[in-house]
Amino acid sequence: MLQDTSPHIQDIITPEDVAFWPPQPGWYLILFVLLIIVGILIVIRLRHKKRNAYRKRGILAIEALKDKEVSDSNILKVNSILKACALQAYNREDIAILSGEKWVDFLNKKAKHVNFIGASKTMLSNGPYQKFNSEAFNQNEFDDLVALSIKWIKSHHHN
């Protein structure tokens, strides 16, 4: 063991513990930057939600037709809902003039993996403009139209 032989040597003085509060100015800057980032993310999310609110409304309206009978009024409702959704997502002047086969071709071009073909194409292109024939379409074909319409609303892309 070493003996303390020098009267001039004093014990080491330890510094006081660093206080947790108040934080140093750098922490205020980091907090400020984080709050700005969170605020920007919230604004982006709200804009996205508002921009796509029509999708939710369209899907709910078409889902209300899921268990309905095939009829000219229900085919017209599906077509009207699709048109309303398209008017929200695309240029009004381009959409308003579309009808018949051009309307269905437009729908097919604007969504991946959604193709209105066969009976669903006929229902959308001719249904609103011709008197409904109860034997022309069966319930399964109408259900397919409803399912394709929901899929289109979910998957179409904006301009």
Q: What is the pLDDT of residues 82-122, one digit of tens each?
A: 999 999 999 899 898 998 899 999 999 998 888 999 989 98
For the chain, the structural domain boundaries read 20-51, 53-155
- Tell me the pLDDT band of 18, cut-offs 50, 70 and 90: confident
Cα separation, 62 vs 66, whole angstroms: 7
Map tokens 């437009």 to a residue.
106
158 versus 117: which is more confidently predicted? 117
**Within 10 Å of residue 122's Cβ, how many Cβ atoms?**
19
Residue pair 87/95 in contact (Cβ under 8 Å)? The answer is: yes
